[in-house]
Amino acid sequence: MRIERDELPPLPDGERVAGAKRRSGEGAAPTDPTKRNAGATARARKLRVNETEAEYRLWGELRGRHLNGYKFVRQVPLGPFITDFVCREKGLIVELDGSQHADSPTDPARTAWLNGHGYSVLRFWNHEVLAERRAVLDTILACLDGKISTPSPGLRLAPATLSPLGRGGKLR
């Protein structure tokens, strides 16, 4: 069987043979970092199906505008990342972290990227959601209402460094 140059798979490091063309939509890394990576939607769908108990419990409180009318979506691809919960109207991302995030070297870079693109990031540990859900919801609501807006290592809030309108000129 003869393989055309257009059909060559990527090399292990993601590069292609010089002159080879990529078929549209196949594993292409976006040239714009604000665009989704190929396959992000499929990965997000899998995450929605395989949610943790903490994600399940919190989603039950956030879905359908249950939290004072604020609309949340879950497992949303944003640029190179998939976020747990997003209130687009307020530019707030709520992340639930398990023990694998305790000393994660990638979390600060991820948060910085999201902050730089107009999103505030609020993090909770899974056990906080399971044991103190009312306090978690009150904290989320305080951030949405602007009552909490300064960085806080103890609260694990990282406010956006760009205004919500800086996210492409419109709220997404």
Model confidence pLDDT, tens digit, residues 79-109: 888 899 999 999 999 999 886 656 678 888 8
C-alpha to C-alpha distance for 41 and 142, rounded to whole angstroms? 30
The whole-angstrom separation of Cα 141 and Cα 147 is 9
Q: Residue 15: which of 29, 35, 31 has the closest Cα? A: 29
Question: CATH number for the 40-166 domain, one of 3.30.70.260, 3.40.960.10, 3.20.20.105, 3.30.110.60?
Answer: 3.40.960.10
pTM of the full predicted structure?
0.69
Instruction: Tell which residue, 25, 26, 24, 33, has the closest CA to residue 10.
Output: 26
Q: pLDDT digits over 2-19, tens only? A: 444 444 444 444 444 444
Q: Alpha-carbon distance 162 to 172, whole Å?
A: 14
- Report the pLDDT value the prediction gives residue 169, as an integer from 0 to 100: 44
Which position has the token pair 């807006």?
149
The mean pLDDT of the chain is 76
Token pair listed for 122: 């609020």
Residue 105 has a pLDDT of 80
pLDDT digits (tens, 9 = 90+) for 135-171: 999 999 999 999 999 998 777 899 998 765 555 444 4
Structure tokens at 41: 């939607």
Coil, strand or helix: which one is 112?
A: helix
Lowest mean pLDDT among 36-40, 51-55, 125-129, 142-146: 36-40
Question: Where would I find the beta strands (DSSP E) of the chain?
Answer: 73-78, 81-87, 92-97, 120-125, 157-158
Whether the pLDDT of residue 71 is over 70: the answer is: yes
Greatest CA separation for the chain? 65
Q: Look up residue 50 and give its two tokens.
A: 């395989």
